[in-house]
Structure 1
Amino acid sequence: MKILITNFHRGDGGGHTTYITALVMAFKEKHDITVIAPKTSRLYQTLSVFSGVRFIAHDFKGALLKTLGDVVSFRALLRRENFDVVHVNGSVDHRLCFLAAVTLGSRRPAIVFTKHNDKEMNSLGVWIRARFGTTKVICVCDNSKRKLGKSPFSQCDITRIYNGVDVDRFSPPSADEVERNRAHWIGSTHSGKLVIGSNAGTAEYKRWMDMVEAVAMLPHNLRRQVVVMVAGLLPPKSDLAKVHQLGMGQNVVFTGLLQDVYPFITTLDIGFVLSSGVETISFACREMMSTGVPVIVSNSGGLAENVEHGVDGWIVPVKSPEAVSSILKRVLMNRYSLIPMRLAARHRAVSSFSLRDFVSNTESVYLDARNAALNAAGN
């Protein structure tokens, strides 16, 4: 198949980048793949160096009038390349592809839309795209599928495909790896401490500060046994000031944005993703669990679908540092309780977070979408 994959993110792109990179690396030897994204994006920086992938740099413009200015050139691209499937990953790129393809008639490609976030979708523009510009819909968790079933996309064919991770790459580290990576990230200052961390990022909705507050609530003799590590863009000065106000300045380590999160994850005893919105299933959560790290998740979006409470992780209410602190207190009183949980987290990842299933199920949606578009053209 000839496939075009689009993404609008200009910077890191978070889970979008991980999602598209996994698909492209799996498909590039089997299908003719073209990726369109801004030149400033991490996706461009990651994929443009690989052979077998054609990359077109394009800045998607959010405003409708600015989008209309790109329609003619984008329509020319679709007509010239005659793609079987266009896979869009956000509202901005979806709108442009729909407007460019709508007048192509029998040469119109199938449009597959993946819903990556938990935001509501009930506007007129969404209804138009759902009705006239979508062949198939992919959602990444059951929670999203339920919400889409109450949106204009309910009239579309919706398939839930859980995000997959490379469980061979994200595998439990050796003791030497742990020691080496901890020496790099936290040094001797925090030797022997319980290391709690997240590679989910530092956006406000990620609620990483809830973990800092949870540790600050612990009795002093327990708090000094904990270090919190946060990977991602450095937070604003106001958040850093709050960390110090909580008396946690010496207990929190910010790594900055990482190109490879695996060494960071190997340092962790417990992971966390405490988002209060937007989040669906979280690649970060699945990468940590695959590495054998039990994860504390909030019950926002589809996060709770990752874990079985008390077995391979914990589920807490949104914006509830008190509940998180209670879990940490129990773990600190009995660190050996983490041993079976680490094994269970790894087992769940291997059995349920398969990259193979993620790729093959997505390919099946592409095939169904292409066939549906061909049938529609024939009619």
Structure 2
Amino acid sequence: MKILYTNFHAGPGLGGHNTYIASLAQALRARHQIAVAVPASSSLFAAAQDMPGVQAHAQDYPTRFGPMLAALASMSRLLREQQYDIVHVNGSSDHRLVALACLLMKRPPKIVFTKHNDIPVKPVGAALRSRLGTDHVIAVCEHVARRIGDSPYRRNGISTILNGVDVDFYRPADEEQKAALRLEYFGHKAHGKIVLGSNAGTDDYKGWIDIVRALAKLPRPMADRFHVALAGGALGNAQMAEVDALGLAGHLSYVGQLPDVRPFLNAIDVGFVLSYRVETISFACREMMASGKPVIVTRYAGLPENIDPGRDGWVVPPQDPASLSELLKAIADGTHDIAAMGRAAREKSVGQFGLDKFVSATEHAYQALLAS
């Protein structure tokens, strides 16, 4: 097959969309002709250039009419010249542009659309894209499949294919390595403490501030048993002002945007993804679990689909620091065996979250579509 992946994100962070595409491109490039068409400023563009056999095309997906015409001409030219079998789109902007470009073709490629987030589907736009520029839809979790099933996209057929991670790439470190990494990332601030960490992002909707608010509700000696660690984009001024106001600045380490999060994940004890909108199933959650960490998630969208509560993680209400505080109290009291839960998280990851299952299911969806 000749497959083109598109994505509109232009920033330097890898993010869920880019992780998704990079994983598929890396795995399928040995068996198929793979290309990506993304903004030149995207981290995915650089990643694709480093993948032998993968073609990287600089392509923007503007929303303003004038720039959109130039982008449409560029996409139309690419599709005519390359004659792809499948174009796999991953957001509304690239989906719209690809659909318009395909309208001008006598033999257009099949268009596969992955719904990555929990942003509501706009009925009018979805109806147009469904009828004019979609041949199949992939949902990244059961929650998204239900949402898409109630939208115009149900006419295109839906495959539920849960995101997979490379469980050989993400794996636990031994205790000696972990101790060294903790010292490297957190210095002596986390010595003897339970480190609550996340690489799920630092946008407001990621809800990371709720873990700090939960600590503030604990008796101070108990709060002092925890340290919070964050990897990702810059923290907001309002959030940091609140951390300072709560008197917990010394309980927080921010390590920035990391090119490789594995050492950071191996330095923490418990992961968390506390999103309250947009999120679906979270690559970050699965990366933490593959690294042998139990994860706290909110009861939002597809996040609970990752967790067997009390065995490999916990599920709490979104935006509810009081409930989160009660959980942290139980963790501090030793109610939960964190090491055993981490082993269970790793075991589940190997059995259910592996990259092979994710890639083969996606490849099968392409093959079935071309055979129909």
2:41 alignment partner in structure 1: 40
Identity of aligned residues (%): 43
What code does the residue aligned with 2:29 have?
K
1:165-314 matches, within 5 Å, as 165-314=165-314
What code does the residue aligned with 2:327 have?
I
CA contact (8 A) 1:5 1:88 kept: yes
- Residue 13 of structure 1 and its aligned partner are, at CA, apart by 4.5
Q: Could you list the structure 1 runs, at least 4 aligned residues long, displaced by more than 6 angstroms after superposition.
A: none
CA contact (8 A) 2:60 2:71 kept: no
Partner Cα distance (1:125, 1:339) in 2: 48
Partner Cα distance (1:272, 1:70) in 2: 39
- Residue 73 of structure 1 and its aligned partner are, at CA, apart by 2.8
- Residue 63 of structure 1 and its aligned partner are, at CA, apart by 3.4
Unpaired segments ≥5 residues, structure 2: none
2:103 alignment partner in structure 1: 102
- Give CA deviations for 1:77-120 in whole Å, capped at 9, x if unaligned: 11111100000000000000000001312x21000000000011
- Residue 234 of structure 1 and its aligned partner are, at CA, apart by 1.3
TM-score (norm 1): 0.95
2:74 alignment partner in structure 1: 73
CA contact (8 A) 2:189 2:250 kept: no
How many residues align structurally? 371
CA contact (8 A) 1:271 1:293 kept: yes
CA contact (8 A) 2:59 2:74 kept: no
Query: 5-14 or 65-74, which moves further after superposition?
Result: 65-74
Are 2:48 and 1:51 aligned? no
Partner Cα distance (1:325, 1:64) in 2: 49
What RMSD, in angstroms, separates the aligned Cα atoms of the two structures? 1.2
1:150 alignment partner in structure 2: 150
CA contact (8 A) 1:196 1:270 kept: yes
1:377 alignment partner in structure 2: none
- Give CA deviations for 1:30-53 in whole Å, capped at 9, x if unaligned: 111111111111111222122211
CA contact (8 A) 1:109 1:370 kept: no
What code does the residue aligned with 1:31 have?
H
- Give CA deviations for 1:289-341 in whole Å, capped at 9, x if unaligned: 11110000001110000001111100011111111111111111117611221
Task: Give the 3-state SS of the residue equivalent to 1:8 in structure 2.
Answer: coil
Partner Cα distance (1:244, 1:103) in 2: 57
Partner Cα distance (1:4, 1:183) in 2: 43
Task: Give the 3-state SS of the residue equivalent to 1:164 in structure 2.
Answer: coil
Partner Cα distance (1:136, 1:114) in 2: 9
1:83 alignment partner in structure 2: 84
Query: Structure 1 residues 65, 115: closer, same or farther in 2, change over 3 A?
Result: farther
TM-score (norm 2): 0.97
Partner Cα distance (1:67, 1:159) in 2: 30
Query: 333-342 or 115-124, which moves further after superposition?
Result: 333-342
1:60 alignment partner in structure 2: 61
CA contact (8 A) 2:189 2:251 kept: no
Partner Cα distance (2:267, 2:288) in 1: 10
1:138 alignment partner in structure 2: 138
Unpaired segments ≥5 residues, structure 1: 373-379
